[in-house]
A and B are shown apart, each in its own frame.
Chain A
Amino acid sequence: MKKTALLLTAFLLSSCMSTGSERVKDIDFVRETMGYYGLNKQSVEGLFGMPSSAFVKDGKEVYEYKYISVYNNPASYIPFVGLFFAPDKYLANYLYVTFDRFGNVETYEALSDTGDYPPEKAF
């Protein structure tokens, strides 16, 4: 009973929120998967689902997948210890896939940005 209560408390305290596609949560998996030869629009949709947005750049269709999450460090709930481990963290993963006019993957780029929340501003 005690163990269950402890586990439940730990689960409640280590809260996390996310938006976007869970399938691009693991950026290493994304990079590995996109390295496969001969991917096209259908196979990309099969792997990662429908994109969060699609747009045309330089006459070529681009799919954008994103996964954004913010989570707080469970250590921040421990008195005193929390003072030194308090910052919330964020993770922003993006996958951009560019298709040629036949619908085959021409290029892709997987970006990952993580750090203490809030993210640092460029200006």
Chain B
Amino acid sequence: MRLLLLFGALLWTAGCTFPSVPSDAMLARAENTFNAEVFSKGGKAVAVIEAENDIPSRYDLHAVLTFRNERTGETFDISVRNGRETVMLSPGDYTLEGFRIVGRERGAYTSIDFGKRYDASFSLEAGEVVYLGKVKTHAVLGEIVSRFFDDYTRELRSASAVTDELKNMSPNYARLIEFHTGKKPSAKLMKWKPSPIFKNKEPSE
């Protein structure tokens, strides 16, 4: 009985608080979180990125963009959980390495991997505070792929693009950036286009 209780307790704690092993992504996050003191020394840039999607789901889905620093080869994730994210990066050229739409609720996990469906890049210079744009992902309904009496399954595609929504940014957020960095964010949209492999598969607008 005691052993059973202990086993149950172990399972419970393992399920609730099983420790995460530090990863490269965690290191990148610790390094890229904005630090006013570090930014004031120079040699860093601040990038703001927004994302939204209307992919039907029972719970919130948010974009996770993975970028690679062309000089160092290091990658880092930008998880746009609340619609926008601000990161502090070293100057240089960055390219999109991965693009996923993910969501999690009560143990359930959804991930839509767009892989290398899009090519995107941006460059940063030291001291810059830039707005990289809003990555908008829209669901596009395709053809009916199967029908069973009144129920039918429709093909679901999606299309993503980057738009300039700096003017619509919450004034409070813009002021917060200015307060911490001493600069207003300026629009410097990342270059975003369908990857040549998937270009022909994009739904027509």
Complex Cα spacing A72 to B17, Å: 12
- Pick from B36-44, B112-120, B197-205 the stretch touching chain A: B36-44
Q: Is B19 a contact of A76 with CB atoms below 8 Å? A: yes
Q: Is B43 a contact of A64 with CB atoms below 8 Å? A: yes
Q: Is B9 a contact of A80 with CB atoms below 8 Å? A: yes
B34 CB, nearest partner CB in chain A, Å = 5
A42 within 8 A of B: no
Question: In this complex, what residue of B is CB-closest to A16?
Answer: B22
The count of chain A contact residues (Cβ–Cβ below 8 Å) is 40
Q: Tell whether A88 pairs with B19 under 8 Å between CB atoms, given A55-B126, A123-B173.
A: yes
Q: Is B42 a contact of A90 with CB atoms below 8 Å? A: no
Q: Which residues of B contact A13 (CB under 8 A)?
A: 19
Complex Cα spacing A41 to B14, Å: 51
Q: Tell whether A62 pairs with B19 under 8 Å between CB atoms, given A83-B13, A123-B173.
A: no
The count of chain B contact residues (Cβ–Cβ below 8 Å) is 34
Give chain B's interface secondary structure class: helix
Q: Which residues of A contact B13 (CB under 8 A)?
A: 79-80, 82-83
Q: Is B17 a contact of A82 with CB atoms below 8 Å? A: yes
B binding-site residues for A, Cβ under 8 Å? 9-10, 13-14, 16-17, 19-24, 26-27, 29-31, 33-38, 41-43, 86, 90-91, 126, 173, 176-177, 180
A binding-site residues for B, Cβ under 8 Å? 13, 15-19, 53, 55, 57, 62, 64, 66, 68-73, 76-77, 79-80, 82-83, 86, 88, 90, 92, 94, 96, 109, 111, 113, 117-123
Q: A68-B27, A111-B41, A122-B34 are in contact. List 18 more A-B contacts (CB 8 A).
A: A17-B22, A17-B26, A55-B42, A55-B126, A64-B41, A70-B22, A70-B26, A70-B30, A72-B21, A72-B22, A76-B17, A79-B13, A80-B9, A88-B26, A90-B30, A111-B38, A118-B26, A122-B180
